[in-house]
Amino acid sequence: MRITRLEPFILHVPVTGGAIADGSHQVGHWGAPGVRVHTDVGLVGTGYTGTHAHLATDRAIVDLIEHAYGPLLIGRDPRETQALWTTLHRHPPLQWVGRSGLLHLALAAVDVALWDLKAQAAGEPLWRLLGGSADEPLEAYDTDGGWLDRSDAHLVDEARARMDAGYRAVKIKIGSPDPGRDLRRIESVRAALPEGARLMVDVNGAWDLVTALRVGRHLADFDVAWLEEPIWYDDVAGHAELARALATPIALGEQLYTLDAFRDFLAAGAVHYVQADAVRLGGVTEWWQVADLAFAHRKPVVPHIGDMMQVHVHLAIAHPACALLEHIPWMRDCFVEPATVEDGRFVPPERPGAGTALRDGALEAYDVRR
Ligand code: MG
């Protein structure tokens, strides 16, 4: 099998309710700049990264895929995923300007497409190719009912609705200018949840260390399962200090690009829940390295939702560090086999591939370059 052609795309898909906010961002659309990788045997692999649908940077990502990586990919066997990853990552002029940022997001999209092809060629869903079993349930937790710009009553209603649908865990966004508002909302949602249900909170990097130390102390009163991204994403020492000072575990990783970054956080004892994201890391290849590293530290991996669950369902079913995955269904309408939750658990996908295949009409509906 040989790669014959790259077909870039940029999907911009509306989010729930037309707009959402967290402690640091406001988003109206989710962006999925990516690529379909065509082969001489007729198989087509699909991969993409996740963005805030910023057109100029999305264009830059697909330009990098097409023009920086394209010449290194055409004619190669897409099943040689590790060798190709190393080729793309270490190509001297690209290594000079890359290793994180836009070029790494482009690498993620390409790598996912290659793993999609590899699983299709094997005739298996990716989770089975990676050694997973459908008999081991993958629990879902919901984030889409807990945005920072929604009312207190909305959060409580959404949490109750998720419990009625079979979920046993929800996450809400905090990081309001008034921390008192955050604590009131946590108290309200906790009171609405049944005994044993898990509640997580996510600051999206909005606090400084002093605020995190001061407000974070109160979270144990509400049995918060984890405090996510309390401070600046790259601050290893700050998160390590918080992890030592607070009774509530620290979760992070959705903003980290590299295996090296995760090594630093794990070595410093700065993270308890490892939220590796295959579409910010360099795809499936680097995600698996991070998950193995976390497993060696006996830390659970709970993948971030940057891929809107498609690849991550496969990875989380297969990797022994994973038992829980985030749920935000913004891109459901794009896929042949969208990730699906029933009774609080993800349904194991059945189609060969990585779950990224776009349905007929998805490009016509959402590709902003058309
Ligand atoms: Mg988050």
Task: Map out the domains of the chain as residue ranges.
Answer: 3-124+360-366, 128-346
Q: What is the DSSP string of 225-258?
A: EEEE--S-TT-HHHHHHHHHH-SSPEEE-TT---
Q: Is the pLDDT of residue 331 over 90?
A: yes
DSSP element (H, E) containing 162: helix 152-164
Catalytic residue among 173, 239, 312, 327: 173
**Domain 128-346 in the same topology as domain 3-124+360-366:** no
The 10s digit of each residue's pLDDT in 89-108 is 999 999 999 999 999 999 99
pLDDT at residue 357 tops 90:
yes
From 38, 89, 118, 304, active-site residue = 304
Options 2.60.40.10, 3.30.830.10, 3.20.20.120, 3.50.50.60; CATH for 128-346 is 3.20.20.120
Q: Which residues are CB-neighbours of 308 under 8 A, at least 6 positions away?
A: 30, 32, 50, 328, 329, 330, 331, 332, 339
Model confidence at 364: pLDDT above 90: yes
What is the 171 CA–ligand 1 centroid distance (Å)?
Answer: 9
Banded pLDDT at 136 (limits 50, 70, 90)? confident
Is residue 304 annotated as part of the catalytic site, yes or no? yes
Question: How confident is the prediction for the chain on average, in pLDDT?
Answer: 97
What integer pLDDT is reported at residue 93 of this predicted model? 97
How far does residue 252's CA lie from ligand 1's centre (Å)?
7
Closest CA to 183 of 159, 156, 201: 201
- Asked whether 43 and 121 are in contact (CB, 8 A), the reply is yes
Q: Which two tokens stand for residue 207?
A: 């606090």
* Averaged pLDDT, 173-187: 97
172 CA distance to ligand 1 middle (Å): 10
pLDDT for 370: 78
User: Domain 3-124+360-366 carries which CATH code?
Assistant: 3.30.390.10
